């Protein structure tokens, strides 16, 4: 095993990252988690690495960063599977831990787009922090109830990323829309699972149903679930 690889970046919460309540939106937090993960992968001394596709992201938020806050994001590998790896990420504002994220990233072949084994020297770079811990990439969210209310969710060109698919962080915009409908309650917990990606031409519907502590949402195309979200929040009310 090599040295314990831990990667850190700094981000500023700006005007485009917050809503009327001055709190950083979920898509802004997801971008920070995504950026520090990408920086770690892109700067790693490793050859023959494929493309990492986000499978699952779970965020626990103890204190939402606010407008003009400077966020320190730190990430490390916290577990491995045959064709995927888990990341732990912490977001700090000053000395205060604001959010902790756990994500599963699947290693894919850049030409075929299918899961492929981890690079041969993966353990030499990231193994020290993973400590041999095995993790699963199995999805856990249920399918939407047949009677769940649905509404269209139009995609925009600005939702696309460098590979031409809807970026991981853009999915959270639909969640933020639902939060606004519910009076913008403070989010304590949020998790998203990705099944297959979205393309700009897709006609997307969002199905939503209430839960004990918040709501669940599914982004669907012709009845096919592309992503699902569970949100737990304070004083979450229905429309």
pLDDT, averaged per 10 consecutive residues of the chain (239 residues), comes to 86 97 97 97 91 96 98 98 97 98 95 89 95 96 96 96 92 97 96 95 97 96 97 70
The confidence score (pLDDT) of residue 236 equals 54
Q: How far apart are CA 233 and CA 61, in angstroms?
A: 10
Q: How far apart are CA 187 and CA 141, in angstroms?
A: 19
Two structure tokens written together for 128: 């020290």
The confidence score (pLDDT) of residue 1 equals 43
Q: How far apart are CA 13 and CA 36, in angstroms?
A: 15
Antiparallel, parallel or unpaired: β 204-210 and 224-233: unpaired
The confidence score (pLDDT) of residue 118 equals 94
* 95 Cβ neighbours under 8 A, 6+ residues apart: none
pTM of this structure: 0.94
Rounded-to-10 torsion of CA 168, 163, 204, 158: 80
Block residue for tokens 């297959």: 196
Rounded-to-10 torsion of CA 223, 173, 185, 105: 80
The confidence score (pLDDT) of residue 151 equals 97
Spatial CA neighbour of 172 closest among 17, 13, 10, 11: 17
Domains present along the chain, CATH in parentheses: 7-130 (3.10.129.10), 150-233 (3.10.129.10)
């Amino acid at each position: 095993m090599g040295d314990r690889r831990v990667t850190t970046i700094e981000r500023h919460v700006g005007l485009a990252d917050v809503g009327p309540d001055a709190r950083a939106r979920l898509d802004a937090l997801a971008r920070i988690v995504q950026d520090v993960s990408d920086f770690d992968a892109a700067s790693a001394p490793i050859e023959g690495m494929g493309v990492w596709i986000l499978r699952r992201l779970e965020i626990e938020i103890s204190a939402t960063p606010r407008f003009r806050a400077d966020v320190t994001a730190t990430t490390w590998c916290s577990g491995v599977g045959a064709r995927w790896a888990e990341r732990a990420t912490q977001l700090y504002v000053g000395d205060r831990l604001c959010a902790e994220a756990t994500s599963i990233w699947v290693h894919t072949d850049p030409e075929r787009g299918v899961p492929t084994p981890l690079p041969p020297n993966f353990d030499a770079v990231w193994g020290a922090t993973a400590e041999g811990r095995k993790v699963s990439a199995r999805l856990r969210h249920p399918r939407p109830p047949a009677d769940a209310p649905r509404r269209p969710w139009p995609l925009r060109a600005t939702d696309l990323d460098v590979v031409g698919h809807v970026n991981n962080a853009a999915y959270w915009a639909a969640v933020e829309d639902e939060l606004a409908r519910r009076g913008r309650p403070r989010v304590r917990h949020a998790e998203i699972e990705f099944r297959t990606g979205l393309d700009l031409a897709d006609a997307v519907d969002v199905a939503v149903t209430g839960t004990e502590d918040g709501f669940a949402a599914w982004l669907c195309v012709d009845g096919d679930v592309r992503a699902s979200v569970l949100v737990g929040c304070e004083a979450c009310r229905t429309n």
